[in-house]
């Protein structure tokens, strides 16, 4: 049964995760960098009230992985009124025909799942046609580090081509870093090999394009492994169930 959490439960979940993030930060070695990781509260399947509760407890970054659900929440009247500083992260697989919808969502902060040149080009064109101001659309490039067939993401060997394409052909996009999900079975290993692969991709990108490492983000870590991810250098953790509680699986 899907149970709606009470306000205090969500607040407690948030507080707990934030304290675990702080502890994980204190365990980082110097070479990993000292950037304060951003917590993205993954609110998929959860009601608007839960988002407002987390927002009122201080949370600002929220993640959704379905375009329609993101639209419903981002355009929701209550959210627009009560959560003026909300920042949405799109973290799901993005189909080409939904690009315009996502780009136009109010308070969109970043699209974390750009995984092909075709999608990057579509996003770039969509920004031009919406023509709002001159700020670029932030993106992460999603990398399929675990090689699982059902996972999205460009293959690690394509990362340089991918970044080079966005930098040269997509003037409306700004690459802030790389994102991966990884194999859930790897999440309990001492050094998650999928996270290591993402770190290696980042090193290659920073070297090739002369980007200071502290200016290039790593989005990795979920409820089961965000502390470990932070110890390894994650700057953006996407945490759902540890904040909002158990989530019923969508029927597939």
The site for ligand PLP (CB under 6 A) is made up of 42, 44, 65, 91, 181, 222-224, 238-242
Grouping H, G, I as helix, E, B as strand and the rest as coil, residue 121 is helix
- Measured N-to-C along each axis, helices 7-26 and 48-56 cross at an angle, to the nearest 10 degrees, of 50
Q: Which of 181, 175, 180 is nearest to 216 (CA)?
A: 175
Strand 173-179 and strand 217-219: pairing?
Answer: parallel
Chain residue at closest Cβ approach to ligand PLP: 240
CB of 75 to ligand PLP, least distance (A): 21
Comparison of 44 and 172: residue with beta carbon closer to ligand PLP: 44
Query: Minimum distance between the CB of residue 221 and ligand PLP, rounded to whole angstroms?
Result: 8
Q: Do 159 and 178 contact (CB within 8 A), yes or no?
A: yes
CB of 83 to ligand PLP, least distance (A): 20
From 186, 167, 185, select the one nearest 176 (Cα to Cα): 167
In degrees and rounded to multiples of 5, residue 40 shows phi and psi of: -100, 115
- Looking at beta carbons only, is 172 or 239 nearer to ligand PLP? 239
Q: How far is the CB of 77 from ligand PLP (least distance, A)?
A: 26
Question: Which of 19/207 has CB closer to ligand PLP?
Answer: 19
Of the candidates 40, 7, 93, the residue with the CA atom closest to the CA atom of residue 234:
40
Q: How far is the CB of 182 from ligand PLP (least distance, A)?
A: 10
- Residue closer to ligand PLP (CB basis): 39 or 201: 39
**E-strand stretches of the chain:** 38-42, 61-64, 87-90, 108-114, 137-142, 173-179, 217-219, 236-239
Nearer residue to ligand PLP within complex by CB, 141 or 222:
222
Whose Cβ is closer to ligand PLP: residue 144's or residue 223's?
223
CA distances (Å), origin 245, targets 41, 73, 178, 196, 223: 11, 19, 27, 28, 10
In the complex, minimum distance from the CB of residue 132 to ligand PLP, in angstroms, rounded to a whole number: 26
Name the minimum Å distance from CB 71 to ligand PLP: 17
Q: Which is nearer to ligand PLP, 42 or 137 (CB)?
A: 42
Cβ atoms of residues 72 and 88 within 8 Å: no
- Residues 229 and 88: their CA atoms lie apart, in Å, by 21
């Amino acid at each position: 049964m899907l149970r709606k959490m009470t306000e205090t439960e969500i607040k407690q979940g948030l507080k707990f995760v934030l304290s675990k993030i702080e502890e994980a930060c204190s365990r980082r070695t110097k070479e990993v960098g000292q950037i304060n990781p951003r917590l993205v509260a993954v609110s998929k399947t959860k009601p608007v009230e839960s988002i407002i509760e987390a927002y009122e407890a201080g949370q600002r970054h929220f993640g959704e992985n379905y375009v329609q659900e993101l639209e419903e929440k981002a355009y929701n009247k209550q959210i627009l009124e009560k959560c003026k500083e909300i920042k949405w992260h799109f973290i799901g697989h993005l189909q080409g025909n939904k690009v315009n919808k996502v780009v136009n969502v109010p308070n969109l902060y970043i699209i974390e799942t750009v995984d092909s040149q075709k999608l990057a080009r579509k996003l770039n064109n969509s920004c031009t046609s919406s023509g709002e101001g001159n700020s670029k659309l932030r993106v992460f490039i999603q990398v399929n580090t675990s090689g699982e067939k059902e996972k999205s993401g460009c293959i690690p060997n394509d990362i340089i081509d991918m970044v080079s394409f966005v930098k040269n052909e997509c003037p409306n996009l700004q690459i802030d870093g790389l994102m991966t999900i990884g194999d859930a079975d790897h999440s309990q290993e001492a050094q998650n090999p999928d996270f290591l692969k993402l770190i290696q991709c980042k090193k290659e990108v920073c070297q090739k394009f002369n980007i200071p490492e502290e200016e290039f983000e790593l989005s990795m870590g979920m409820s089961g492994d965000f502390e470990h991810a932070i110890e390894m250098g994650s700057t953006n953790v996407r945490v759902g169930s540890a904040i909002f509680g158990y989530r019923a699986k969508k029927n597939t």
